[in-house]
Structure 1
Amino acid sequence: MSGQGIAAATAAFEQNRYIDALTILNGMLGKSEEAAAVTLLLAETLEKLGFTAEAAEAFEQAAQHAGAEAPLVLRRACGLYFAIGDDDHTQLIGMKLLKSLPADPELAYILARSLRRTGDNALVDLVKNTLVESDDPEHLKLAGDIFAGDDRNPASLTLFRKIAALHPDDPYSQLKYLAVARDFCDYAAIERIERWLGDEIAAGRMASLAGDTGYSNLLHCGVERYNRLATNNPGVSEPPSPAATRQRRSRPHLWSDRIRVGYLSSDLWDDHATMRLFQSVLEAHDRERFDVTLYCYTPERFVGFDGGNRGKWGKIVQIHALSDAAAADVIRARQTDILVDLKGHTAGSRSKILNHMVAPLQVAWLGFPGSTVNIECDYIIGDAIVLPNSSKPHYHETFCRLPETYQPNDPVYRARPPAASRADLGLPDDRFVLAAFNAARKISLPTLDCWAAILRGASNRVLWVMIDGDLARGNFLSAMKSRGVEADRVIFAPKTSYDAHIARLQAADLGLDTFPYNGHTTTSDQLWAGLPVLTVKGSNFASRVSESLLTAIGLPELVASDPDAFVAQAVALSNDPARLASLKQRIEANRYTAPLFDAERFCRHLETAYAMMADRARQKLAPEHFDVPAQPARTSPFR
């Protein structure tokens, strides 16, 4: 009889007569010898009727009789519990199922969504790689959200390659893949996508650039009018209205004798690259003329790394836990005169706080080498090299140009240990060592071609490059081999502590820059260590930084006019030890006399800039481009 009942219920189910099927099945509960088939069909019938909670419970019961199929039946229960918002049951079942279905993408999808909904993001790591192995577009879309900020996991390269293949005409998918490919030195993908983007631009489809982030665009594009079109920046898709800008500038504001300067950043701990540049300038502020406050959203784990210097920088107001609007209210309530954003379009930025119209003067500086598109800024601080007059049409910010370099540098807390020996570093004593320590993502195709050309020129040269991870290193060696450079000409440098990094830099002969995105802190670190750096004259802010730094330490001749001259100059220097020694001696002689590492002098220039901005704002005058006059040269070294 039970066989007939199952057959009748199955027929009703297949004919979409779910009430009839349910009636038959209810009469069989607890009586049938075919409990597995009855409970499973009951669960499916309840699901069709929209009784989701009851269906989930029924699938749980069915799993008890399902034998080898039990995990797949429980997975269905897990999905239904998620659908009704019961994350406790979803996760209880799902986490147990991971033992029997460790590589099941559907289970990973359900669990990841549930864990993200309850904020248990750390546990998502248990299943995120499984999502990458799926070919289901929904699974890959979720994985894309999870991996969006994970630039160290090799699985992200596979993931975004799959997403790009699914959406070949979507600039957001293609340019995200390009950004990830840079992190892993996948030059075949880089070349392919850059060619696609070049074709888009040539055809006049400029909207494709909107798929790029401001930062990622600078890694491959030195054209300022294109940099402005890279608007895929989180939370800032539209510019503030001109009316809102006028209202902010005309709003009543209580000025005081001291200028109240606020610095906004998530990098406020002394071992961050920003603070290795900036902390001595912060300490040098004239407290009788300037009231300095740091609006800090530095994550707690990084604050814990600070060596104790934070207390010397100024008042610190924590805004990490506040919304953007609430943070803006706090900053506004403190009558901040000048709010200086130190992040721009970089990782972890909350620059959009400025779009809440916080202060009468809002300034972009230091963190992002370009226009912070769609962020409400009156001024950008630069210098005449990084911000020449020709750049003005490509910025919504007004130019404030410091007289020597836009980049501060700390000569007090910056480590300068004795040089490490080549033997300890695994470097050959009889080779010319070219150091390339910029982030791997900055190694563009033109940079790669130049490096390879330099190495091919003679066997006495080796490239010492900082690239992490087996995948990226393998890809880099393959790219060099395709350009005629064997693996034994490349030496990989591991990441290390800052002190050890400065010590090892002194063992190299010459630093090689990247372009169009130069070394910034990396270049100043090399100069601080006494290592000459060769760069190429740039065409936008990011590609002009090394020229600014080299000029500020008195070595402008290390700025090659173009890539061919860069190669020729590197080759010439590798064969001219006397000239190289002379360059190193000049760095030593200039370290404490040239402007680059003079934090006190830099601070006076910066304060003059703030005073000039404030004078106009007090008079309700709109910002205008200006150059800060240089202070008289000092006559004694700063120690």
Structure 2
Amino acid sequence: MNKPLRTKHLPKSARRRLETPAPSPALALKAEAGRAFIEADYPRARDFATRALAFEPDNATLHAEIASSFMQEKKYELALKHLMGALKLEPTNPKWLSAIGTILFLMDKLTDAVGFFEAVYQIEPENAMNVSRLVQSQMNLCDWTVYKDQKNKLRILDNDPANGDPFTTLLYVDDAALQKKRVVSKTKNKVTISERKVARKFNRTPVAGRKIRIGYFSCDFFNHATMFLMARHFELHDRDNYEIYIYDYSREPSDVMRQRVLDAADCYRPIHNLKDEDVAELARGDSLDIAIDLKGYTKDARPTIFGFRAAPVQISYLGYPGTTGMPAMDYFVADAVTVPKEGRRHFSEKILYMPNCYQVNDNSRPHPETGPTRADMGLPEDAVVFCSFNNHNKVSPAEFDIWMDLLKEVDGSVLWFLAVPGVIRDNIRKEAEARGVPGGSDRLCRALSYSPSHCASAAGGYLS
């Protein structure tokens, strides 16, 4: 029989080492997983977290970290599986509930997402990030029950302006002052960190006697609404005086629209695998004079690139209709309608006013020889047709009330509304019937088809 080890005769330091329990193997594995995640090596992070989970199978956070690594790679089904594992261990944890809602949102399963966001709203009502996602999901569904407690939701968002997606409040309320407050708070920390690292001097030759280099940054250089407007814009640049650089972080396959942009550019930079700071450094190495951000805070935007200063002059244009709130963004292109004189105070950028209209368009697009008939579109032959081809999530009850009053006043008129079949169209029809329009939902005609994912906004870091 072995006798117990006696340590009284040993020095105190030796006794302390012998009596201190050995660290859990999971601790080292979790530390390695964290380092790998920071380095954006998601498979490696996942491997370490999975190995740690073998030692701590009841650790909900490890399940969530594995889910987060899958989410970074847009493997949403696998992310959802592991988050459900976390939720099984901690059924009322609002962090897991909100994270599941976010993944469902990104998968366009909006009705299911709303259920999870609503659950968090009951458990943790002051969670501004969750409120932002709940609002956007319901707006994307034309579920206007979201307006019943709008005052309280806006209070929550106003109390925590740094959290939530800036695009959400653009949809939900017409309040430019609130919008500026939110984006300034949201970008403050990131911008401060990035601007500390910025090289304030640019190695550029004087512009006199050389071409000015303009860089455009976006992930929409493909068959996308932005390029329907802008493709001709790139082709019409004065090539004797300007060099055009394209910085593209899309993962979409190449198509005809992208090829038009490539043919019109002097230099094409695929940057989807580069970090924001490295993109800015690349642009500075290209000696850009002007950097133009076409995304703002729309889906998959990367505003931090401009916090690192890609060029001496940086401009926000077209993709996002509000201020970025970034000190590093120098100008915003607008016209007197989109940003009237009294609205300038709600922009941190200086406004570059175009003389007529800020929005470019492609005048070279071919026109079909024959257009669709009313019958083709499901429209009555002899009625007045009111049209709304905005994305449906931009429509609020205020506008809809006006439109329904018009239908009441103009006998037999119809509204041609943009909404995909299913829950969204059903919700809009119910809203028409609730307003007592004679003929009810029959006065809302068949909608055009489109993909809501093209205009949905990124939901941000889902565990924040």
Normalised-by-shorter TM-score class: 0.7 to 0.9
Residue 85 (structure 2) pairs with residue 85 (structure 1): no
**CA shift for structure 1 position 116:** 4.4
User: Residues 260 and 123 of structure 1: is their aligned pair in 2 closer, same or farther, counting only changes over 3 Å?
Assistant: same
Within the candidate set 128, 152, 165, 1:196 is matched to 152
Letter in 1 for 2:75: N
- Identify the residue that residue 37 of structure 2 maps to in structure 1: none
Deviations 1:43-65 (A, max 9, x none): xxxxxx99899xxxxxxxxxxxx
Letter in 2 for 1:490: L
Pairwise CA RMSD of aligned residues?
Answer: 3.8
- Identify the residue that residue 111 of structure 2 maps to in structure 1: 154
Kept in 1, the 8 Å contact 2:218–2:294? The answer is yes
Residue 312 (structure 2) pairs with residue 363 (structure 1): no
Higher helix share: 1
User: Residues 109 and 311 of structure 1: is their aligned pair in 2 closer, same or farther, counting only changes over 3 Å?
Assistant: same
Q: Give secondary structure in 2 for the equivalent of 1:487.
A: helix
User: Residues 488 and 388 of structure 1: is their aligned pair in 2 closer, same or farther, counting only changes over 3 Å?
Assistant: closer
Within the candidate set 253, 272, 277, 2:204 is matched to 253
- Identify the residue that residue 284 of structure 1 maps to in structure 2: 236
- Identify the residue that residue 134 of structure 2 maps to in structure 1: 177
Kept in 2, the 8 Å contact 1:354–1:375? The answer is no
Letter in 1 for 2:297: H
Letter in 2 for 1:288: D
Structure 2 counterparts to residues 17-96 of structure 1, below 5 A: 85-86=50-51
- Identify the residue that residue 136 of structure 1 maps to in structure 2: 92
Kept in 1, the 8 Å contact 2:289–2:312? The answer is yes
Q: Give secondary structure in 2 for the equivalent of 1:300.
A: coil
Name the structure, 1 or 2, with higher relative contact order (CA <8 Å, separation 6+): 2
Letter in 1 for 2:444: V
Residue 344 (structure 2) pairs with residue 392 (structure 1): yes
2:60 and 2:387 mapped to 1: Cα distance? Answer: 43
User: Residues 246 and 117 of structure 1: is their aligned pair in 2 closer, same or farther, counting only changes over 3 Å?
Assistant: closer
Q: Give secondary structure in 2 for the equivalent of 1:154.
A: helix
Letter in 2 for 1:262: G
**CA shift for structure 1 position 283:** 0.4
Structure 2 counterparts to residues 463-482 of structure 1, below 5 A: 463-482=415-434
User: Residues 465 and 252 of structure 1: is their aligned pair in 2 closer, same or farther, counting only changes over 3 Å?
Assistant: same
Kept in 1, the 8 Å contact 2:101–2:116? The answer is yes
1:259 and 1:456 mapped to 2: Cα distance? Answer: 56
Kept in 2, the 8 Å contact 1:263–1:342? The answer is yes
- Identify the residue that residue 277 of structure 2 maps to in structure 1: 325
Kept in 2, the 8 Å contact 1:87–1:114? The answer is no
Kept in 1, the 8 Å contact 2:289–2:311? The answer is yes
1:378 and 1:51 mapped to 2: Cα distance? Answer: 51
2:285 and 2:303 mapped to 1: Cα distance? Answer: 18
User: Residues 209 and 247 of structure 1: is their aligned pair in 2 closer, same or farther, counting only changes over 3 Å?
Assistant: closer
- Identify the residue that residue 570 of structure 1 maps to in structure 2: none
2:85 and 2:49 mapped to 1: Cα distance? Answer: 22
- Identify the residue that residue 121 of structure 1 maps to in structure 2: 75
Residue 256 (structure 2) pairs with residue 308 (structure 1): no
2:96 and 2:330 mapped to 1: Cα distance? Answer: 43
Letter in 1 for 2:442: D
Deviations 1:583-630 (A, max 9, x none): xxxxxxxxxxxxxxxxxxxxxxxxxxxxxxxxxxxxxxxxxxxxxxxx
Kept in 1, the 8 Å contact 2:276–2:302? The answer is yes
1:133 and 1:475 mapped to 2: Cα distance? Answer: 31
- Identify the residue that residue 491 of structure 1 maps to in structure 2: 445
Kept in 1, the 8 Å contact 2:183–2:323? The answer is no
- Identify the residue that residue 31 of structure 1 maps to in structure 2: none
Letter in 1 for 2:150: E
User: Residues 185 and 369 of structure 1: is their aligned pair in 2 closer, same or farther, counting only changes over 3 Å?
Assistant: same
Letter in 1 for 2:112: A
Letter in 2 for 1:342: L
User: Residues 117 and 197 of structure 1: is their aligned pair in 2 closer, same or farther, counting only changes over 3 Å?
Assistant: closer
Kept in 1, the 8 Å contact 2:325–2:349? The answer is no
Gaps of at least 5 residues in structure 2 are 1-21, 27-45, 456-464
2:81 and 2:184 mapped to 1: Cα distance? Answer: 28
Deviations 1:25-47 (A, max 9, x none): xxxxxxxxxxxxxxxxxxxxxxx
Deviations 1:381-420 (A, max 9, x none): 1122222332232222112111111100101035555220
User: Residues 316 and 132 of structure 1: is their aligned pair in 2 closer, same or farther, counting only changes over 3 Å?
Assistant: same
**CA shift for structure 1 position 262:** 0.6
**CA shift for structure 1 position 445:** 1.8
Kept in 2, the 8 Å contact 1:344–1:351? The answer is yes
Compare 312-321 and 135-144 and name the one that shifted more. 135-144
Kept in 1, the 8 Å contact 2:249–2:270? The answer is yes
Deviations 1:399-458 (A, max 9, x none): 211111110010103555522012222222132222211111101121121122112224
Q: TM-score, length-normalised on structure 2?
A: 0.75
Letter in 2 for 1:480: A
Residue 331 (structure 2) pairs with residue 379 (structure 1): yes
Letter in 2 for 1:136: T
Letter in 2 for 1:86: R
Kept in 2, the 8 Å contact 1:237–1:374? The answer is yes
Q: Give secondary structure in 2 for the equivalent of 1:159.
A: helix
Deviations 1:534-588 (A, max 9, x none): xxxxxxxxxxxxxxxxxxxxxxxxxxxxxxxxxxxxxxxxxxxxxxxxxxxxxxx
- Identify the residue that residue 300 of structure 2 maps to in structure 1: 348
Aligned residues with identical type, % of pairs: 24
Letter in 1 for 2:216: Y
Residue 361 (structure 2) pairs with residue 409 (structure 1): yes
**CA shift for structure 1 position 491:** 1.9
- Identify the residue that residue 275 of structure 1 maps to in structure 2: 227
Residue 133 (structure 2) pairs with residue 168 (structure 1): no
2:277 and 2:63 mapped to 1: Cα distance? Answer: 33
2:86 and 2:140 mapped to 1: Cα distance? Answer: 18
Residue 176 (structure 2) pairs with residue 224 (structure 1): yes
1:347 and 1:254 mapped to 2: Cα distance? Answer: 36
Kept in 2, the 8 Å contact 1:344–1:372? The answer is yes
**CA shift for structure 1 position 310:** 2.9
Kept in 1, the 8 Å contact 2:335–2:356? The answer is yes
1:232 and 1:247 mapped to 2: Cα distance? Answer: 19
2:428 and 2:372 mapped to 1: Cα distance? Answer: 26
1:107 and 1:495 mapped to 2: Cα distance? Answer: 44
Kept in 2, the 8 Å contact 1:211–1:232? The answer is no
Q: Give secondary structure in 2 for the equivalent of 1:238.
A: helix
1:260 and 1:274 mapped to 2: Cα distance? Answer: 21
Q: Give secondary structure in 1 for the equivalent of 2:189.
A: coil
Q: TM-score, length-normalised on structure 1?
A: 0.56
Kept in 2, the 8 Å contact 1:249–1:361? The answer is no
User: Residues 452 and 50 of structure 1: is their aligned pair in 2 closer, same or farther, counting only changes over 3 Å?
Assistant: farther
Within the candidate set 238, 245, 263, 2:216 is matched to 263
Letter in 2 for 1:260: R
User: Residues 213 and 327 of structure 1: is their aligned pair in 2 closer, same or farther, counting only changes over 3 Å?
Assistant: same
